[in-house]
Amino acid sequence: MITGFDYGTSNCAMGVINANTQGTQLLPLEGSNTFLPSTVYAFARELISEQVAKDICDPSAKEQYIQKRAHSLEMALKFRRDESIRNDEQTVFFGNEAFAQYLSFPEEGFFIKSAKSFLGASGLRPEIIGFYEDIVTVMMAHIKRSAEIHSQEALTHTVIGRPVNFQGLNAQKSNQQALAILETAAKRAGFKAVEFFYEPIAAGLDFEKPLSEDKKVLVVDIGGGTTDCAMILMGPNHIQKQDRYSDFIGYCGERTGGNDFDIQIAAKLLMPLLGMNSTLKSGLPMPTQVYWDAVSTNNVGAQTKFHKVETAVLLKQLLRDTREPNLVERFIDVRDNNKNHQMVRSAEQAKIALSDQPQTSVDLSYIEQQLSKQATLEEIQHAVQRPLKTMLSLMSDAIEQANTQPDLIYITGGSAKSPIIKQVIEQQFGNIEIVDGDHFGSVTNGLTLWADKIFS
């Protein structure tokens, strides 16, 4: 069976062609939900590799994988013995269940959110690339199983969405690395044929179906980890083409998305409660880089640095030097108990809440009893100016590449739901019609349509 697969930074979704209606249909992945948060939690890192070994069905591929991961699999067995974990006991969790496990035991186990953000990172050692292959594989295998339970058919051929660029620096090498990880993972998860398709074009395909005349459309796909902008020729004279790349007249993308909004909000609104922007006894301002490292949960280098011993030493020194030791003590607690991911999630929830109300209360009682922050839409708007400017710049670059103005702007992607984004786009491009798309399903639907076209 053929499927379109949106392995997203924030959420994952999978679609098929409905045999009765011949339209696209998203498959339930978590209960009745068709979107699964891109999160994995395991009692130990090595248990992820163990789960991958269990998931691989092809005997030859399984044997090769077991040989490659011999050390990790031995460590997984040792962990099970030491912790008295039965062989049939679940040790790896996904989606909201992964969040629940992490929030219950933040100081234990291994938790990763938005693994897609890391796939194109430069300077990764081979063993780290191998571990990312395992993280992606274990999640893809879980999603594939969940979708197959509903469809009652094996999913064998897939088109997976990809951003224009996974990273801004050394984009070509970054893209090659990320796509290689995704393809390896998809094959290990059981897909026999794997192709990739640009996410902004996929979003545009879904939008194009009802168009009655040809148009130049600027598709703005704002996901959790990336923003992709594509100028695409759409309409009746284009939709039936087997090769659409000639209609792709301008594009650009960057690793700036909804996660960057959450990071900015966490740093500028929440971290002051932990000492950021406070003053040392010397009268000098508190160093802020360590706070940015804490919330930069989509940055491998920042997270590695934040958890190094040198950072613990630095925080002890800042505790002695600060005029407000109670605030730095909160920050030390966040680091010692691995609560920085939880703070970024709190920022994300505040952003979502402020999509339809002017004010919200951010609960931080997991750091200190009764600790909270009142956040307003105006504060959020001020906090996210940097990623907003990047998104507007990408839109302008795509238009400049195409050397023509769009007839309309089509906004899609989960992060595009924020009224802040639509407001700044209207201010910048108010003379062009702006259309809101299916914020969560357009990419998956487009990938499904393309998969049906190339595999049928």
Q: Identify the pLDDT of residue 370.
A: 94
Mean pLDDT of 130-143: 97
Q: Identify the pLDDT of residue 381.
A: 92
Residue 390 has pLDDT above 90, yes or no: yes
Q: CA-CA distance, 438 to 151, in Å (whole number)? A: 23
Residue 28 buriedness (CB in 10 A; 0-12 / 13-18 / 19+): middle
In this prediction the pTM is 0.81
Q: What pLDDT digit, counting tens, does each position of 309-330 carry?
A: 999 999 999 999 999 999 999 9
Q: How confident is the model at residue 157 (pLDDT cuts 50, 70, 90)?
A: very high
Residue 100 has pLDDT above 70, yes or no: yes
Q: CA-CA distance, 377 to 50, in Å (whole number)? A: 45
Residue 124 has pLDDT above 80, yes or no: yes
Q: How confident is the model at residue 430 (pLDDT cuts 50, 70, 90)?
A: confident
Strand, helix or coil at 188?
Answer: helix
Structural domain spans, the chain: 2-191, 214-256+386-437, 259-384
CATH superfamily of 2-191: ATPase, nucleotide binding domain (3.30.420.40)
Q: How far is CA 177 from the centre of its chain?
A: 17
CB 225 within 8 A of CB 249: no
Pairing of strands 227-234, 215-222: antiparallel
- Token pair for 447: 């990938």
Q: Identify the pLDDT of residue 323.
A: 96
Q: CA-CA distance, 133 to 126, in Å (whole number)? A: 10
| Residues 6 or more apart in contact with residue 16 via CB below 8 angstroms | 1, 2, 3, 4, 24, 25, 27, 147, 151, 155, 448
Q: CA-CA distance, 261 to 387, in Å (whole number)? A: 7
Written as one letter, the residue type at 209 is K
| Residues 6 or more apart in contact with residue 271 via CB below 8 angstroms | 277, 291, 294, 295, 331, 343
Q: Phi and psi at residue 197, in whole multiples of 5°?
A: -145, 140
List helix spans (H) across 106-167: 126-151
List helix spans (H) across 251-308: 258-265, 289-295, 300-306
Written as one letter, the residue type at 433 is E
Of 139, 222, 38, the closest CA to residue 147 belongs to: 139
Q: Identify the pLDDT of residue 106.
A: 79
- Ranges 19-28, 275-284, 286-295: which has the least confidence: 19-28
E strands, 50-113, are 92-94, 110-113
Q: What share of the chain is helix, strand, coil (3-state, %, to 5)?
A: 50, 20, 30
CB 391 within 8 A of CB 409: no
CB 342 within 8 A of CB 349: no
Of 175, 255, 282, the closest CA to residue 415 belongs to: 255
Q: Identify the pLDDT of residue 362.
A: 96
Residue 139 buriedness (CB in 10 A; 0-12 / 13-18 / 19+): buried
* Dihedral sign from CA coordinates of 9, 357, 442, 426: negative
Mean pLDDT of 101-124: 88
* Dihedral sign from CA coordinates of 25, 29, 34, 38: negative
Q: Identify the pLDDT of residue 168.
A: 63
CB 176 within 8 A of CB 122: no
Strand partners, 362: 373
Q: How confident is the model at residue 356 (pLDDT cuts 50, 70, 90)?
A: confident
Average pLDDT score over the chain: 92
Greater pLDDT, 117 or 273: 273
- Token pair for 47: 């248990």
| Residues 6 or more apart in contact with residue 286 via CB below 8 angstroms | 275, 276, 277, 278, 279, 280, 318, 322
Q: Identify the pLDDT of residue 380.
A: 93
% of the chain at pLDDT higher than 70: 99
What does CATH list as the number for 214-256+386-437?
3.30.420.40
Q: How confident is the model at residue 295 (pLDDT cuts 50, 70, 90)?
A: very high
Within 13 Å of residue 155, how many CA atoms lie on the same side as its CB?
Answer: 30
Q: Identify the pLDDT of residue 225.
A: 81
Domains 2-191 and 214-256+386-437 share a fold: yes
Q: How confident is the model at residue 387 (pLDDT cuts 50, 70, 90)?
A: very high
Q: How confident is the model at residue 170 (pLDDT cuts 50, 70, 90)?
A: confident
| Residues 6 or more apart in contact with residue 142 via CB below 8 angstroms | 94
Q: What pLDDT digit, counting tens, does each position of 412-424 carry?
A: 887 777 778 888 9
Strand partners, 372: 363
% of the chain at pLDDT higher than 90: 70
Strand, helix or coil at 94?
Answer: strand
Greater pLDDT, 389 or 106: 389
